[in-house]
Amino acid sequence: MAAHTRGTELDLSWISKVQVNQPAVLRRAQQIQARRTVKKEWQAAWLLKAVTFIDLTTLSGDDTFSNIQRLCYKAKYPIREDLLKALNMHDKGITTAAICVYPARVCDAVKALKAAGCDIPVASVATGFPAGQTHLKTRLEEIRLAVEDGASEIDVVIDRSLVLTGQWEALYDEIRQFRKACGEAHLKTILATGELGSLTNVYKASMIAMMAENISPFLTWVAVISGPGSDFIKTSTGKETVNATFPVAIVMLRAIRDFFWKTGNKVGFKPAGGIRTAKDSLAWLSLIKEELGDEWLKPELFRIGASSLLTDIERQIYHHVTGRYAAYHDLPMS
């Protein structure tokens, strides 16, 4: 087998032939949304599971140390303890999967989590989030600084123009540089699917994000598989007009499945933006279970990017335990 080098060209001939069957994708999305959800204790169990997939997020211009500190506390104690005791789940160590903040707030989050005696990972957005319209050198330095400050996960944004103009090799090279800048930190690549123009572009961008820095059969010169470029592919920044939708998710999940079949590498999936209700979270968990199987239903391979979702999940747990809905003052701030 020939050795992989930095100058190896990608063989994208097969990707150029990809066409997504949009009517079929839309029908599948409708099936997911129309399905009746689980009830009673089964719903409570699935909602607690959903909590463990949440990247609890604050990406506001008025973020301060105090609200980062409050968010970190909520990540460690996402559901009121008496509610967990009523469900006999108080000793199961239920926390959110991560805290997600701007690069300048990574130090605050690391400090707050350490003070709370908690080892929840800190994720930082980077690379000119949310638009990605800054110089590549600046974007790479932003990744490195966030990692130096203690971020163990980096949520990067791609240059959407590379997708819209079909510059797949340039996109591959960009993500490969992001991967290198991350070092040991996990790379979560945000595709901003609402701005990619078509479901076919979503599939192609998903595949490129997973291929980058991966030595695999996708390359013209075949070599030993070294692992995927992106540890996760993520739908959206949450700042686009259209964020996480089921049609987009189905296409991305099918890409993840195809990549796994071809390489044996499992890549994670993170929907983000617009996921606000407990009912929404159950639909997303159902989709993952059906498209990728139970193996993906763990924080290492599935995350939900959200800021207000946890509040509604806790309200539903409160209702399940007490038989009534919580007043505003019944639940701590998230």
Please choose, from the candidates 188, 183, 176, the residue with its C-alpha nearest in 3D space to the C-alpha of residue 136.
176
Cβ atoms < 10 Å from Cβ of 197: 12
Query: Could you give the CA distance from residue 304 to residue 1 in angstroms, rounded to a whole number?
Result: 39
Determine the Cα–Cα distance for residues 320 and 126; give it in Å rounded to an integer.
39
Each residue of 82-114: b (16+ CB within 10 Å) or e?
Answer: ebbebbebeeeebbbbbbbbbbebbbbbbebbe
Reply yes or no on whether 17 is catalytic: no
Residue 219 CB burial class (10 angstroms; 0-12, 13-18, ≥19):
middle
Amino acid at 152: S
Q: How far apart are CA 113 and CA 119, in angstroms?
A: 7
Beta strands 122-126 and 186-190 are unpaired
Kindly name the residue from 234, 262, 289, 298 that is annotated as catalytic.
234
What letter represents residue 164's amino acid? L
Catalytic residue among 74, 76, 204, 270: 270
CA distances from 200 to 29, 101, 222, 311 (A): 16, 31, 26, 35
Contacts of 267 (CB under 8 A, 6+ apart): 210, 228, 230, 231, 232, 233, 256, 259, 260, 301
How does DSSP assign 88-100, residue by residue?
A: T-TTS----SEEE
Residue whose C-alpha is closest to residue 273's, from 243, 253, 245, 240: 243
Q: Are the C-beta atoms of residues 170 and 177 closer than 8 Å to each other?
A: no
User: Is 234 a known active-site residue?
Assistant: yes
Grouping H, G, I as helix, E, B as strand and the rest as coil, residue 156 is strand
Return the active site residues. 234, 270
